[in-house]
Structure 1
Amino acid sequence: MGTNDIKEEIASLGASLFHRGFSVGSAGNISARADGGFLMTPTNSSLGRLSPSSLAVLDSSWRHTEGPRPSKEVVMHRAMYDARPSARAVVHLHSTYVTALSCLESPDDTIPPLTPYFVMRIGQDVPTVPYYRPGSSEIYDELLDAARTGPAVILRNHGSMVAGESLEEAVNAAEELEVSAQLAYLLLDKPKRPLTEQQVRELTGR
């Protein structure tokens, strides 16, 4: 896929996420590999109003080379790509239910493997990293370690980071994570029947 096609896809899928309530206002950002570097949504931009011609361009060393200033969350995106070399795209959202779970007193292990699609798109577990101020470079090491265990990470009191081997895969996984978080939230105080270890192994082949 050429750079122009990737730009169009970022704008299209960003608008889809926005209009279906996965992001609001100027929250959230998207990046994708392109031409030996990266494309990224600009700082303070809305995923619902992206223009393919006005995305930030960064080189392979994450230096801003063209277009508007990239999102201040560059460090988080870089950590995801460094942890997952096969990733071609990363989606960061402040979606409602993932963020709600991230604000719980003990958010670890709050999304059990309730459905096969969660396991197939995300994995059995989603690691959680401590809160850092948005744009802080200090999150890099924590996020790098967490993302090595799977494509999705929950950021405490913030939202989620999800990587994929294509932009469509990353978006699908981010949506699956939010829907799974909604199920987990609805079942917080109820007896749950997650998939068994055997059922998970059948889905993952492990």
Structure 2
Amino acid sequence: MSLPWPATQDAVRADIARVGASLFQRGLAHSTAGNISVRLTAEQGGGFLITPTDACLGFLDPAQLAWVIEDGSTLAGARASKTLILHRRIYASAPDAHCVLHTHSTHLVALTLQGVWHNDDILPPLTPYQLMKVGHVPLVPYRMPGDASVADDVAALISKTHRPLRAVMLERLGPVVWHDSPGSAMALLEELEETARLWLLTERRPEPLTDSQIGELQIRFNTLW
């Protein structure tokens, strides 16, 4: 399969570090919160790369990323993030996913504290790019960080959604998004965080897009909504 980023494992490691630094520098990730993983092809060595536990995304050492195989055993690098089981279940449930990204993005976490729009969709359909790039984002009820049962919750949501799901929101913790590359996952996260910020800034009063407007987007752009 041809992937939209360089083919070597070293290049993938560098891309993970680049995305982590970009998120950190722009305030979309902070402290040691958040993690990034990539599913490797056979040509890249197979298994997964994932950021180490308690690592700061702004200062990742590409050489220290945890390299794990399908069952979660470590081949090389530092100890994997405690969310490894969640990442592995997403990859198993979403075959098109090649990168999983989790942060504690401020406006999205604030949204869960104030109350989301609906549990099945944390935000109403507000902007065309939200529908085109993000789609539906269900809420996953709060569980302690690292709780393995979150992986079951997310896998169940992926399996029951009638349209492709690319993101969920962990209550009080932050979004988890997945896409075909680190850059694509970062762009999805940015769009989701920006939509949450817009809704909070406008005091949650804007009218959603109408059914007719949504239908037009679905026909023309095959949106995820």
If the length of structure 1 is used for normalisation, what is the TM-score? 0.93
Partners of 1:129 and 1:142 within 8 A in 2: yes
Q: Paired residue for 2:83, among 64, 69, 73? A: 73
Q: CA separation in 2, counterparts of 1:59 and 1:204? A: 38
Gapped regions of structure 1 (runs ≥ 5) = none
Aligned to 2:216: 202
The one of 139, 142, 146 aligned to 2:153: 142
- Equivalent position of 2:191 in the other structure: 176
Secondary structure at 1:103 match in 2: helix
Corresponding residue for residue 57 of structure 2: 47
Distance 1:138 1:42 in 2: 20
Could you tell me whether the CA contact under 8 Å between 1:128 and 1:146 is conserved in 2? no
SS at match of 1:65: strand
Contact 1:110-1:184 within 8 A present in 2 as well = no
SS in 1 for 2:114: coil
* Deviation by residue 1:84-103 (Cα, 9 ceiling, x = unmatched): 11100010010001111122
The aligned amino acid for 1:202 is E
Q: Does 1:167 align with 2:182?
A: yes
Q: Contact 1:16–1:48 at 8 Å: present in 2 too?
A: yes
Q: 2:99 aligned with 1:93, yes or no? A: no
Q: Give 2:69's aligned amino acid.
A: D
Q: Tell me, in whole angstroms, the C-alpha distance in 2 between the residues paired with 1:44 and 1:132.
A: 18
Counterparts of 1:185 and 1:19, CA distance in 2: 22
Q: 1:3 aligns with which of 1, 9, 19?
A: 9
Change in Cα spacing, 1:204 to 1:73, as seen in structure 2 (3 Å) is same
CA shift for structure 1 position 65 = 1.7
Cα distance 1:187–1:31, how it changes in 2: closer, same or farther (>3 A)? same
Runs of 5+ unmatched residues, structure 2: 1-6
Question: 8 Å contact 1:18–1:24 — kept in the other structure?
Answer: yes
How far apart, CA to CA, are the structure 1 residues paired with 2:216 and 2:72? 39
**Are the aligned partners of 2:134 and 2:167 in contact in 1 as well (CA < 8 Å)?**
yes
Q: Is the 8 A contact 1:147 1:153 kept in 2?
A: no
Deviations 1:123-158 (A, max 9, x none): 1x2101111111111112111122343101000111
In 2, are the aligned partners of 1:17 and 1:47 still within 8 Å (CA)?
yes
What is the deviation of 1:62?
2.1
For 2:148, the aligned partner's letter is: S
Correspondence for 1:29: 35
Local SS of the residue matching 1:25: coil
Distance 1:105 1:196, change over 3 A: closer
Query: Is residue 4 of structure 2 the alignment partner of residue 20 of structure 1?
Result: no
Asked if the contact 2:99/2:179 (under 8 Å) is kept, the reply is yes
Distance 1:14 1:33 in 2: 16
The secondary structure found in structure 2 opposite 1:21 is coil
Equivalent residues, number: 204
Look up the match of 2:132. 120
**C-alpha displacement at 1:19, in angstroms?**
0.1
Q: Following TM superposition, by how much is the alpha carbon of 1:168 offset from its aligned partner in structure 2, in angstroms? A: 1.1
Q: How many angstroms does 1:9 deviate by?
A: 0.3
